Amino acid sequence: MPTSYFTERFTWLGTYQRKTKRLQEMLKSIALSTSCKVASRLSKHLGIVTSHHTLLRLLHKLKLPSYEPPVHIGIDDFAFKKRCRYGTIIINQETRRPIAILNGRDKETVVKWLEQHPTIQTVTRDVLSHTLRLSLKRCLMLIRLRTVGIF
């Protein structure tokens, strides 16, 4: 006669897991704030022995936040290295978070990015060059024509 075993299920411990949910959340937050190798070394000092591969597996299980296409954006240029390399930063005005960092501040780069995002309705800007200002007007005109149905 086969023997059967009774096991109790705990809410704080998942099935076939060696770490509690609380410990996994703590390891995820450490791994997200640093690299996984550094988080592995730091966790050893905290008394938790784990490898960086385990931390990577925990991060791969994370769900990505939902992404809504931007409607209102802000554009500004900045210097990666003063007088050498410049870039353009695009910020979602509703969430106040950066969306994209473009290499260069020329009009072709910005127009190409704007044409790839047809949901944009409003563009706010800092002081831009005259050529970039004209290209923004042209691109927004194309977006308006698309929404009307002419283009």
Residue 131: pLDDT over 60: no
Contacts of 52 (CB under 8 A, 6+ apart): 35, 36, 37, 39, 40
pLDDT, tens digit (0-9, with 9 covering 90-100), for 6-52 = 777 777 777 777 888 899 999 999 999 999 999 999 999 999 999 99
Q: Which residues pair with 121 in a beta bridge?
A: none
pLDDT, tens digit (0-9, with 9 covering 90-100), for 51-102 = 999 999 999 998 877 778 888 988 888 888 777 888 888 999 888 888 888 8
Q: Are strands 85-92 and 72-81 parallel, antiparallel or unpaired?
A: antiparallel
Q: Are strands 72-81 and 97-103 parallel, antiparallel or unpaired?
A: unpaired
Model's pTM, two decimal places?
A: 0.50
Residues 112-134 as b/e (b if ≥16 CB within 10 A, e otherwise) read ebbeeeeebeebeeeebeeebee
